[in-house]
Amino acid sequence: MNIRSVCGYCGTGCGIEFDTDRLIGTIDYPINEGMVCAKGVSELHTIETTDRLLRPHLRKEDGDFIPIDWDLSISSIAHHIRFSDPKRIGIYLSGQMLSEDYYVANKLGKGFIGTNNVDTNSRTCMASAVVAYQKVFGIDYVPVQMQDIDHCDLLILVGANTADAHVVFNNKIQRAKKSGLTTIVIDPRRTETAQQADLHLPIRPGTDIDFLSLVARRIIDDDRADVQYLEKHVNGYVQYLRKIKKIPKVKLLKRCGLTAAQFEAFMTLFYANENIISAWTMGLNQSSQGVDKNLSLINLHLLTGKINKRGNGPFSLTGQPNAMGGREVGGLSTTLAVHLGFDDESIKKVSEFWQTDKIADKAGLTAFEMIEAAERGELDLLIICHTDPVYHLPNRKRVEAALKKVPFIVEINAYDNSETKSFAHLRLPAAPWGEKEGTQTNMDRTITRQERLTRRAIDCKPDWEIFAMIGKKLGFQKAFDFEDAAAVFKEYQEMTRLSERGHLDLSDLDQGSLRGGAYVWGKQLFENDEYFTPDRRANLIYVQNERLSEAVSVTHPFILMTGRTRDQWHSGTKTAFVDKLRKHRPLSFIEINTNDAKELKISDGERVKVSTKRGKLILQAQVTDAIREKTLFVPITERRINYLTNDLLDPYSKQPDYNHNAAKVERL
Ligand SMILES: Nc1nc2c(c(=O)[nH]1)N[C@H]1C(S)=C(S)[C@@H](COP(=O)(O)OP(=O)(O)OC[C@H]3O[C@@H](n4cnc5c(=O)[nH]c(N)nc54)[C@H](O)[C@@H]3O)O[C@H]1N2
Ligand SMILES: Nc1nc2c(c(=O)[nH]1)N[C@H]1C(S)=C(S)[C@@H](COP(=O)(O)OP(=O)(O)OC[C@H]3O[C@@H](n4cnc5c(=O)[nH]c(N)nc54)[C@H](O)[C@@H]3O)O[C@H]1N2
Ligand code: SF4
Ligand SMILES: [Mo]
């Protein structure tokens, strides 16, 4: 049998296998059934690139890096940890780490160093969905699976461009369309996903709550709410009614930038279809009101009872391959481990399990809060693993200035060309996809195993092993004495028994079955529509658009959004050099509407100056009518993009508002 693994890019989690000299999609793998996208099959090239980081490196006074050995590297990290207050230590992880990596890093930080400042780049990605699910269901649980698409009549995609960001899932959607599925896309851009849809609503960025409130109000006015479901299973309907009845309908529709006819077209499809799934990604999550945007969409499912039934429900699409696994293990600073929080009982359970007395009793700093702490000179040590915060956090100038104040930064990366590189004092070489093994959980709770395809470069180590080495050097020999990734997973499996009512319990899972196989945790967790809240009822929470995002002005009249293109992965350390992947779209451009371009006398292909209050970039214009007037779009493969973005955060999830920046465009 071929070596079977799973793709390390997006949250779809396609099974792929090594066939003689190339990668192919695994035919009998339930998620992708042989389908695979260009990124997945290109993984093989990423191991071979010359841009790999192959040895530990220490920064000298003059800024140059010199190779050093592992022992000295780990000793110097242990030294810094020993002489620092745990509150002044941060660990920044990634939704691209495997569960084993996450588990050991989290155990080290929260369990043995005694800092809860262990957060992940999922903060910039999934945090709003996590908080919304917790508020509504009492638990971070995605109640839909990809195969539900085959039993669904209407799919509503809000702020999600699956054709570019979840290619194989999008292929599944297109296949279901042939069998009768209807799709609606709500997105300020006419993306490829929107072009494939039956209805596209080019909403003004930041106004989804207005639109979704109008839909909710209409459902109630038309007596289409499932009152029986609401009475039996949902809290808050009476209060909700009181508030939703008062919304100014005409004003809200105007704010969305949509016509009454467009709204009616939406309602017609909504009423004409029985089984409805809504799915969303960064168009909702990355917002100063990301949690509320999520709630306003989930509310539609509670109001209509279209939830916990095959082919129905609110489906947050995970971006990174293991962002879901990271949440389970405890990679967010706002959870401790296995979905437990920082209440006394949880700390007691986890302390007993890890045999430690070091766990601090309140949530740690989130990603951008670490930057703020660094700014105030309150961070002595930052360990960054599998992510590039200088590239990806908002308001880059501020991030750079803050990181310059951190006395010791460790970067663990498999590649040599991150933007964080020049801020690190010590850089450690990780073994990338293909050279390591471990597990990941995709966007519909399916756990699979990544297998090793080739021998490991001599000085590279899997991420978990690096954290375990630090733990052992600190004297916690027993706690970090794992023989291999399978041993780490075994301990994690045991720990999942501690999760609330055992909802995450994986203790019976046979690891061998994960080789090329799939396992779904938490099937039908809400049996009989009983949720995980104290009274087992879901919470219907009224929200309104507070307009907290950066406002456009006479000087900065455009809303700048940022996002993905199909064949590239974020900063492109793995994809930008693969020739085959570079053909789809350039790494850097700015989309501007045809009428706006005409007004500003900008022609297609011309270089323009784009500025916000925080910075400016010269970018090549792509003039198109596939974007709303007065909005702009820059792909995040433009590595300098976050010099432009604002650092407003959602008050609950602390997720950044990357998609709403007041900007100006000028001819050069
Ligand atoms: N090819 C590729 N695929 C990827 C990734 C990658 O780097 N490359 N990254 C992965 C990751 S980590 C993530 S998080 C996902 C992201 O997946 P997506 O969120 O689907 O992708 P984005 O391009 O970030 O944004 C989606 C859409 O939101 C729209 N949008 C912006 N503001 C608003 C708004 O206010 N309202 C609405 N309704 N829409 C809005 C944008 O126009 C954009 O088309 O992709 C994953 N898949
Ligand atoms: N303006 C704007 N900013 C954004 C977003 C946006 O939409 N707009 N999206 C946000 C979101 S959703 C996300 S998920 C983030 C993504 O932001 P990042 O996580 O910073 O993006 P990547 O380029 O995927 O970074 C992954 C890093 O891990 C390294 N790496 C690869 N394999 C391994 C390995 O096996 N081990 C280790 N240790 N390292 C490895 C890569 O070389 C790379 O440097 O960006 C966020 N920032
Ligand atoms: S759709 Fe996502 S998981 Fe599947 S091959 Fe493409 S990048 Fe990999
Ligand atoms: Mo993401």
pLDDT per residue as tens digits for the range 302-351: 999 999 999 999 999 999 999 999 999 999 999 999 999 999 999 999 99
Which residue bears the tokens 């009423």?
271
Provide the pLDDT for residue 516: 78
Provide the pLDDT for residue 46: 84
Measured by CA distance, the residue closest to atom 8 of ligand 3 is: 40
Residue 49 has pLDDT above 80, yes or no: no
Per-residue confidence band for 394, with pLDDT thresholds at 50, 70 and 90? very high
pLDDT tens string 108-164: 999 999 999 999 999 999 999 999 999 999 999 999 999 999 999 999 999 999 999
Ligand nearest to the CA of 563: 1
Residue 205 Cα: closest atom of ligand 1: 35
In CATH, the architecture of 127-319 is 3-Layer(aba) Sandwich (3.40)
Per-residue confidence band for 481, with pLDDT thresholds at 50, 70 and 90? very high
Average pLDDT over residues 177-182: 97
Provide the pLDDT for residue 601: 98
Per CATH, is 3-46 categorized as 1.10.3470? no
Residue 1 has pLDDT above 80, yes or no: no
Q: Which residues pair with 592 in a beta bridge?
A: 623, 632
> What does the buried/exposed string (b/e) look like for 245-255 if buried means 16 or more CB atoms within 10 Å of the residue's CB?
eebeeeebbeb
User: What separation in angstroms does the CA of 470 have from each of 81, 91, 103, 158, 467?
Assistant: 9, 13, 14, 43, 5
Average pLDDT over residues 286-294: 98
Q: Ligand 1: which of 36, 43, 96, 161 to mutate, most ligand atoms within 8 Å of CB?
A: 161
Q: Look at domain 52-122+321-503 and name its CATH class.
A: alpha beta
Provide the pLDDT for residue 485: 97
Residue 391 Cα: closest atom of ligand 2: 20
Measuring CA to CA, which residue among 377, 381, 388, 390 is closest to residue 409? 381
**Measured between alpha carbons, how far is 198 from 183 in angstroms, rounded to an integer?**
5
Spatial neighbors of 337 by CB under 8 A, at least 6 apart, are 106, 107, 110, 329, 330, 350, 495, 498
- The residues spanned by each domain of the chain are 3-46, 52-122+321-503, 127-319, 558-667
- Using a 10 angstrom Cβ sphere, with 0-12 exposed, 13-18 middle and 19 or more buried, the burial of residue 211 is buried
Q: Which residues are near ligand 2 (CB < 6 Å)?
A: 94-96, 121, 124-125, 282, 286, 319-320, 385-388, 391-392, 412-415, 418, 430, 432, 463, 562-563, 569-571, 573, 636, 641-642, 645, 658
> What does the buried/exposed string (b/e) look like for 576-612 if buried means 16 or more CB atoms within 10 Å of the residue's CB?
bbbeebbeeeeebbbbbbeebbeebebeeebebebbb
Spatial neighbors of 449 by CB under 8 A, at least 6 apart, are 5, 6, 437, 438, 439, 511, 514, 515, 516
Percent of the chain with pLDDT over 70: 100
Measuring CA to CA, which residue among 7, 48, 53 is closest to residue 412? 53
The distance of Cα 614 from the centroid of its chain, to the nearest Å, equals 25
Average pLDDT over residues 253-275: 98
558-667 in CATH: which number?
2.40.40.20
> What does the buried/exposed string (b/e) look like for 530-539 if buried means 16 or more CB atoms within 10 Å of the residue's CB?
ebbbeeebbb
Judge if the beta carbon of residue 563 lies within 6 A of ligand 1: yes
Provide the pLDDT for residue 580: 84
